[in-house]
Structure 1
Amino acid sequence: MNAGRLLLRHELRLLAALGRWASRRPPAVPEGATPFGYARGQGAPMAGLGFVCVIETLMLSVLLRDRPTAHHVVLVLDVYTLVLVVALHASSVVHPHVLDPGAGTLRVRRSLHVDLVVPLERIVSVRRELRATHERHDGELDVVVGAQTSVTLELAGPVPHVTFLGRRREVGVVRLHADDPGALVRAVTEARSGLVEPA
């Protein structure tokens, strides 16, 4: 899929997520699975970005008031940009992390940009670990939200991660953020213990 079609598909999915969020429909998760949100961590930055977009729209409206054609074009672009900012937040709300003990997986997400399925049997360690700085290393994936991660997964073997643009890489350490990291760590620990057969 070429970059143009990929971006168009991405924007359509963002708008669909916005519609789901606006209609207050809950995230779609399999029966028996548990969603874990992470969007609260980005609420303030997204609100700040939205505020900047509104101010920019108002200022350009004043500057271009004597040039109606340019004013209308810029207004449409600014409003669409604001809609996309809200849609980015909405997509984070309606695409949470999902723990599915029935399928034996933890689905790690960030909006539409990250969707990594981690088999529970591959997880050898799960812990709360607040990090505000992240250096890029081979074999590690940092799913940062609001400039931080709060849960670290160490895997027995690498799992494939496909980036937004289709690049494939193998990861053995995954760091992610959750609104309630303690609850996620406990739930993953309990789900993993259910995979261990009694001696």
Structure 2
Amino acid sequence: MRPGWLGWMRQPRRLLRGVAYLVVPGELTLLVCLLAGLRPPAPVLAAGEAAVLLLLTAEAAVFLRLWRREGRTPREAVRELVPQPVLRLAGHELRLMWSLLLWAARRRSGPGPGEQVFGHARDQAGLLLGLGFVCVVETVAMSYLLRPWPVLHAVVLALDVYTVLFVVGLHAASATRPHTLSEHTLRLRRATHVDLRIPLERIASASYELLSAHDGKEDGVLDLPVGSQTSLTFTLSEPVESVGLLGGTRRVHTVRCHADDARSLLQAVTRARSSLPPPRGGPPS
């Protein structure tokens, strides 16, 4: 056996991920066939279920080894086994559902003591809630049409209900996660997938600039539109790192965002910047 192959086999994380990339699509294919009324041969179904069971057992065994024998925390063990994009997507969905609970309780996520809060969900509320209403109508219509097929009806109903929760959750996430400003940091957020912290000393200029066209192709520019528009532009003296939905990072030197009261946010940032101590070794700004 070649050394490279032996080294690969010694890494259970890679082995399990490779098996999962084969087993999970196969299991989904079998599920689609069953929903479509095509019943695969019994040996194929048994093999598919056995593969899933063995994969879950192996994942559990490796998790316990990483946790108990190698001293990893449960979170670190999960990160070793599950690809980062999958974890981030799952975390995104959980935060959306949690946002619904916060929204219903009229609470917010994130503002600390002494931080100023600036909402940014108002201009998209009508669009998202209208889309949610359309999804509700579609759910009722599909439920009526699929009554003769109970299994398909149950699957489509579950997907439709989740779609409604997802759309409303997007608005709830924006409403419960406002922009915040502390003595040293401007925190800009968008739903649950963008959380950018900008040290105030890195803001070279801030301006009110109403823009409605964003192609997203400008290098080093991060656009956070709400209702297809941004109203504030921050130019940075040093780039900051932005983390995407799936964990990818990029360095940005210009950030465009929106706030319900953009001029108030601009004034607050200007006041906070003016109260910063001058840099060491330099004249007061």
SS in 2 for 1:158: strand
Identity rate, percent: 51
2:210 pairs with 1:119: no
* Whole-angstrom CA distance in 2 between matches of 1:62 and 1:26: 38
The letter of the residue matching 1:100 is S
Residues 145-186 of structure 1 deviation map (CA, whole Å, 9 limit, x = unaligned): 110101000111111111111111111100001000010000
The letter of the residue matching 1:145 is V
TM-score (norm 2): 0.66
Of 156, 160, 171, the residue aligned with 1:78 is 160
Superposition pairs of residues 2-81 of structure 1, within 5 angstroms: 2=83, 3-81=85-163
Superposition pairs of residues 148-167 of structure 1, within 5 angstroms: 148-167=229-248
The letter of the residue matching 1:131 is L
The letter of the residue matching 1:123 is I
Select the structure of larger CA radius of gyration. Answer: 2
The letter of the residue matching 1:114 is V
Superposition pairs of residues 104-143 of structure 1, within 5 angstroms: 104-135=184-215, 136-143=217-224
Residues 73-125 of structure 1 deviation map (CA, whole Å, 9 limit, x = unaligned): 21121111111111111111111111011xx0000110111111101011111
Runs of 4+ in 1 over 6 A off after TM superposition: none
* Whole-angstrom CA distance in 1 between matches of 2:108 and 2:137: 32
Residues 35-54 of structure 1 deviation map (CA, whole Å, 9 limit, x = unaligned): 11100121122012102211
Tell me what 1:188 maps to. Answer: 269
* Whole-angstrom CA distance in 2 between matches of 1:94 and 1:18: 9
SS in 2 for 1:76: helix
* Whole-angstrom CA distance in 1 between matches of 2:133 and 2:99: 21
Unmatched runs of 5 consecutive residues or more in structure 1: none
Structure having the larger proportion of residues in strand: 1
Higher mean displacement: 180-189 or 59-68: 59-68
Higher mean displacement: 156-165 or 171-180: 156-165
Number of residue pairs matched by the alignment: 197
Deviation at 1:127, TM superposition (A): 1.1
Of 246, 250, 259, the residue aligned with 1:169 is 250
TM-score (norm 1): 0.93
Superposition pairs of residues 87-102 of structure 1, within 5 angstroms: 87-101=169-183
Deviation at 1:71, TM superposition (A): 1.4
* Whole-angstrom CA distance in 2 between matches of 1:166 and 1:111: 16
The letter of the residue matching 1:154 is T
The letter of the residue matching 2:195 is D
Structure having the larger proportion of residues in helix: 2
SS in 2 for 1:42: helix
Which protein has greater RCO, CA pairs closer than 8 Å, 6+ apart? 1
* Whole-angstrom CA distance in 2 between matches of 1:5 and 1:13: 12
